Amino acid sequence: MIKTHVLGFPRIGAQRELKTALERHWRGEIDAAALEQVGRSLRERHWRLQLDAGLGFVTVGDFAFYDQVANLIQLFGCEPARFGFSGEEPALARYFAMARGTPARPEQPRGQPALEMTKWFDTNYHYLVPEFDAATRFSLQPERLLAELDEALALPATPKVALLGPVSFLHLGKSHQTGFDRLSLLPELLKAYAVLLDKLAARGVSWVQLDEPILGLELDQPWRAALRQAYEQLARGEQQILLASYFGPLGENLELACSLPVAGLHLDAVRGGAELEQAARALSAERELSVGIIDGRNIWRADLDAALARLRTLRALRGGRLWVAASCSLLHVPYRLREDAGLDAELRSWLSGAEEKLAELRLLERALWADEAGPQTAADATLAQALAENRAALASRRDSPRVRLPSVAARLAGLGADADRRASPFAQRRPLQRQRLALPAFPTTTIGSFPQTVEIRAARAAYKRGELTEAAYRAAMQREIALAVRKQEELGLDVLVHGEAERNDMVEYFGEQLQGYAFSAQGWVQSYGSRCVKPPILFGDVARPRPMTVDWTLYAQSLTPRPMKGMLTGPITMLQWSFVRDDQPRAETALQLALVIRDEVADLETAGIAVIQIDEPALREGLPLRQRDWADYLAWATRAFRISAGVAADRTQIHTHMCYAEFNDILPEIAALDADVITIETSRSGMELLRGFGDFRYPNEIGPGVYDIHSPRVPAREEMLRLLRKAAEVIPADQLWVNPDCGLKTRAWPETEAALRHMVEAARELRRAQAGS
């Protein structure tokens, strides 16, 4: 028997309907009932797509109004006590309170910060981090999930319920209590899972998919033992469990996974392809093997011939039984690309979004059926035609002259051995930069973006629709830049930025100006909550036809005598947040990107810009999931950064910026980037993150973020002072900068100005204290 399925489907909506509805709800424009209705209709639409594609199941449980991990916090009734919920509040209101934080109330004068948000493995999706401590109790609240299940049953459709598994749920959470062992909660959590599984079985659900993506990580013995304990216990119930792993090979966890007494095992055959045959042999015959052969992380059209060859081998090993799936949830790819208005016909034929991936699964299923059916049927002709079309599209991509630019390869080959080094070491660059910039102690700056207002977005949308001329658009963006410069001067910031008004996104903006990149009109992917990105598509060798930021930066610099920071996105972040080609190593693509950024640095410098920031927020996210693969990645990734910065003269100050990450485990490599200044996100951790930089004696200058930009909350001057004093305990004062955690594009102006005013006051207070001591 061949069965096809997906681990999850994108939920934001082909037209981002969920985003629109959520934001309207948060603004108070639509009530909870209207929002729920949007959720229901999206679920129904997505299930119908799965039904129409002939999948063996529709997947239930992948929908979330904010995040699938946050759903589990409510499903298992473990909302953190700090939110002070009485239980009287509607569940959805509590959910958004956890996701977005709560404003100050008389009984909670400072409000509650949201749950921490962190990267979902090595993706650009962020999940909300569950908080566990000794007082955590679980109490199953299955109403929402059961209601969704009933919707699917009513279609009618055969549902498979998909949830994060108990061990990954605990693993991905955190505890603020030192010494608390999250695994001590496992027995209670398992009881709740077991009750839920029974309820699902009673509703007639035949399969429950439990995701344990931590199987792709290096696990300590206690976590491995926890997986065994969990599945031995859960498998005792009625419910059949499909245990799902993705994002990498199982490696040393393969044997464990194959030996757990679950009814089926899903593996990522795209990133863990090498071990599929081994798993097919190791898994006992009565169990199902689900082969994730369609890439759930990237947008290239699948090579169906290759997939079929692979599946036939595996099917033979499995005695004819096999499930065929996408490697991971399709959450990470856009809805559809084959008809996207932003892409030309040739490119479209090379791509697959979520809908097209459903069709690919269907074709694989039909081809495998045809093997068994024997003699030619009428359906075979359409199948053969579809496979031929697939072959032709793949050949057109492989042979396309658009993909290769000989000049790029030649330039890389000719790159000097010292291209990744500045002319002199930091100690020599520093006095030259100090003299040129003449900054006060504790210099203040921001990370780049200022509020992306409705007006800015509307102007860009009108320009893209052809309703605004290029000149009018340019003038509108220049007005925004002038406004940002004026406000920064009024606030008294030291190193200014132009504010990035002209950028739709820090990656897409550059992609749009580079050869080798294409960008879709509707290829949205959820990044967190209602926020989406439209990753540009890197399909060929990268080249820069003309400078990308020089005009805007020079315009901004012309408005002020203060230093204007040029603002670029670094090669690794460009790589990580784009859909990149799969026909050459990522390391090579990174080098090509490094060269175009290098050229931009050179042009900004020639134009007289004295400070240039090369953002690398995704450097940490790109780390391989297993530590043993880190060194190789870090070697090429940091070299790519250094190649982009290495062209700068000693007197030009290079900044970099990183956020959303635990930096302490890669401090030597961060230091090896040799940026003159690094700004990092530290405020949510109360400067804890900085301690590592201090212990390591980080050699260059650092701007630890002094306030969280994810929340409209305006921190008091004293709060920032406290953080700065804490920072000064671990970092020498003459190395410290003062700045927010990250860019301010998601904020509005009033809170931005208020917070920056407090920040500048805090820096001035420090200077006074220093002068007086």
Q: Say whether 558 sits in a helix, a strand or coil.
A: helix
Cβ distance to ligand MET smaller for residue 214 or 709: 709
Residues 48, 51, 56, CA angle at the centre, nearest 5°?
Answer: 145
- Tell me which of ligand MET, ligand 39S, Zn ion, none is bound by residue 635, counting a contact when its beta carbon lies within the kind-specific cut-off of 5 to 8 angstroms: none
Decide if residue 657 touches ligand MET (CB under 6 A): yes
Which of 71, 245, 329, 449 lies at the binding interface for ligand MET (CB under 6 A)?
449
Decide if residue 622 touches Zn ion (CB under 5 A): no
First-to-final CA distance of the chain: 79
Q: What share of the chain is helix, strand, coil (3-state, %, to 5)?
A: 45, 15, 40
Cβ distance to ligand 39S smaller for residue 469 or 770: 469
**Tokens matching residue 389:** 């079309």
Instruction: State the catalytic residues.
Output: 710
**Tokens matching residue 728:** 């000064």
The answer to whether 27 is annotated as binding is no
Q: Say whether 568 sits in a helix, a strand or coil.
A: strand
Q: Comparing C-alpha atoms, which of 746, 663, 662, 725 is closest to residue 698? A: 663
Decide if residue 506 touches ligand 39S (CB under 6 A): yes
Nearest distance, CB of residue 617 and ligand MET, angstroms: 4
- Tell me which of Zn ion, ligand 39S, ligand MET, none is bound by residue 448, counting a contact when its beta carbon lies within the kind-specific cut-off of 5 to 8 angstroms: ligand MET
Contact criterion met (CB below 8 Å) for 110 and 722: no
Cβ distance to ligand MET smaller for residue 310 or 684: 684
Helices and strands, counts by H and E, the chain: 27, 20
Nearest distance, CB of residue 68 and ligand MET, angstroms: 22
Binding part of the chain for ligand MET, among 185-193, 308-316, 633-641, 740-748 by CB under 6 A, reads 740-748
Scanning residues 356 to 375, which ones bind ligand 39S (CB under 6 A)? none
Decide if residue 577 touches ligand 39S (CB under 6 A): yes
Scanning residues 609 to 638, which ones bind ligand MET (CB under 6 A)? 615, 617
The answer to whether 500 is annotated as binding is yes
Which of 3, 429, 534, 620 lies at the binding interface for ligand 39S (CB under 6 A)?
534
Cβ distance to ligand 39S smaller for residue 465 or 628: 465
User: Who's near 341: CB < 8 A, 6+ residues apart?
Assistant: 521, 522
Contact criterion met (CB below 8 Å) for 330 and 10: yes
Give residue 685's identity as a one-letter amino acid code. S
Decide if residue 447 touches ligand MET (CB under 6 A): yes
Nearest distance, CB of residue 542 and ligand MET, angstroms: 20
d(CA 443, CA 769): 15
Q: Comparing C-alpha atoms, which of 438, 415, 434 is closest to residue 426? A: 434
d(CA 598, CA 307): 39
Which of 331, 567, 594, 595 lies at the binding interface for ligand MET (CB under 6 A)?
567
Nearest distance, CB of residue 267 and ligand MET, angstroms: 32
Binding part of the chain for Zn ion, among 187-195, 651-659, 661-669, 711-719 by CB under 5 A, reads 651-659
Decide if residue 506 touches ligand MET (CB under 6 A): yes
Question: Looking at 260-391, which runs of residues are DSSP E strands?
Answer: 264-268, 288-294, 322-326
d(CA 413, CA 411): 5
User: Who's near 501: CB < 8 A, 6+ residues apart?
Assistant: 450, 452, 456, 477, 480, 481, 484
- Tell me which of ligand 39S, Zn ion, ligand MET, none is bound by residue 563, counting a contact when its beta carbon lies within the kind-specific cut-off of 5 to 8 angstroms: none
**Tokens matching residue 573:** 């972040």
Nearest distance, CB of residue 327 and ligand MET, angstroms: 26
Cα 283 from chain centroid (whole Å): 33
**Tokens matching residue 399:** 């042979």
Contact criterion met (CB below 8 Å) for 690 and 682: yes
Cβ distance to ligand MET smaller for residue 506 or 634: 506
Cβ distance to ligand MET smaller for residue 101 or 705: 705
Cα 229 from chain centroid (whole Å): 31
Binding part of the chain for Zn ion, among 8-16, 535-543, 714-722, 740-748 by CB under 5 A, reads 740-748
d(CA 1, CA 245): 22
Cβ distance to Zn ion smaller for residue 56 or 617: 617
Paired sense of beta strands 117-119 and 126-128, if any: antiparallel
d(CA 676, CA 613): 10
Binding part of the chain for ligand MET, among 416-424, 427-435, 452-460, 742-750 by CB under 6 A, reads 742-750
Scanning residues 430 to 459, which ones bind ligand 39S (CB under 6 A)? 452, 457-458
Decide if residue 531 touches ligand 39S (CB under 6 A): yes
Per the DSSP assignment, residues forming a β-bridge with 266 are 244, 290
Decide if residue 746 touches ligand 39S (CB under 6 A): yes
Which of 124, 240, 327, 739 lies at the binding interface for ligand 39S (CB under 6 A)?
124
Decide if residue 460 touches ligand 39S (CB under 6 A): yes
- Tell me which of ligand 39S, Zn ion, ligand MET, none is bound by residue 458, counting a contact when its beta carbon lies within the kind-specific cut-off of 5 to 8 angstroms: ligand 39S
Nearest distance, CB of residue 709 and Zn ion, angstroms: 8
- Tell me which of Zn ion, ligand MET, ligand 39S, none is bound by residue 504, counting a contact when its beta carbon lies within the kind-specific cut-off of 5 to 8 angstroms: ligand 39S
Decide if residue 132 touches ligand 39S (CB under 6 A): no
Task: Please report, to the nearest 10 degrees, the dihedral formed by the alpha carbons of residues 383, 385, 390, 393 taken in order.
Answer: -170
Decide if residue 570 touches Zn ion (CB under 5 A): no
- Tell me which of Zn ion, ligand 39S, ligand MET, none is bound by residue 567, counting a contact when its beta carbon lies within the kind-specific cut-off of 5 to 8 angstroms: ligand MET
Residue of closest CB approach to ligand MET: 743
Which of 351, 532, 548, 666 lies at the binding interface for ligand 39S (CB under 6 A)?
532
Indicate the DSSP class of residue 749: H
Decide if residue 678 touches ligand 39S (CB under 6 A): no
Decide if residue 676 touches ligand MET (CB under 6 A): no
The answer to whether 742 is annotated as binding is yes
Cβ distance to ligand 39S smaller for residue 398 or 531: 531
Nearest distance, CB of residue 119 and ligand 39S, angstroms: 8
Question: What b/e sequence results for 387-406 when a residue is b if at least 16 CB atoms lie within 10 Å of its CB, and e otherwise?
Answer: beebeebbeebeeeebbebe
d(CA 241, CA 162): 10
Decide if residue 745 touches ligand MET (CB under 6 A): yes
Binding part of the chain for ligand 39S, among 57-65, 303-311, 348-356, 502-510 by CB under 6 A, reads 502-510
d(CA 259, CA 504): 48
The answer to whether 758 is annotated as binding is no
Q: Comparing C-alpha atoms, which of 326, 327, 350 is closest to residue 338? A: 350
Q: Comparing C-alpha atoms, which of 71, 57, 88 is closest to residue 196? A: 71
d(CA 322, CA 398): 30
Q: How many residues line the site for ligand MET (CB under 6 A)?
A: 13
The answer to whether 266 is annotated as binding is no
Q: Which residue carries 């009033």 as its tokens?
A: 750
d(CA 363, CA 357): 10
DSSP assignments along 428-445, one per residue = HHHHHHHHHH-PPSS-BB
Cβ distance to ligand MET smaller for residue 141 or 739: 739
The answer to whether 577 is annotated as binding is yes
Q: Say whether 126 sits in a helix, a strand or coil.
A: strand
Per the DSSP assignment, residues forming a β-bridge with 119 are 126
Which helix (H) or strand (E) segment holds residue 761: the answer is helix 749-772
**Tokens matching residue 293:** 């052969």
Q: Could you list the residues that contact ligand MET (CB under 6 A)?
A: 447-449, 500, 506, 567, 615, 617, 657, 659, 742-743, 745
Q: Could you list the residues that contact ligand 39S (CB under 6 A)?
A: 124, 452, 457-458, 460-461, 504-507, 527-528, 531-534, 577, 746
Summarize the annotated binding site for 5-methyltetrahydropteroyltri-L-glutamate as residue ranges.
Answer: 16-19, 119, 124, 531-532, 577, 621
Summarize the annotated binding site as residue ranges.
Answer: 16-19, 119, 124, 447-449, 500, 531-532, 577, 615, 621, 657, 659, 681, 742
Q: Could you list the residues that contact Zn ion (CB under 5 A)?
A: 617, 659, 742
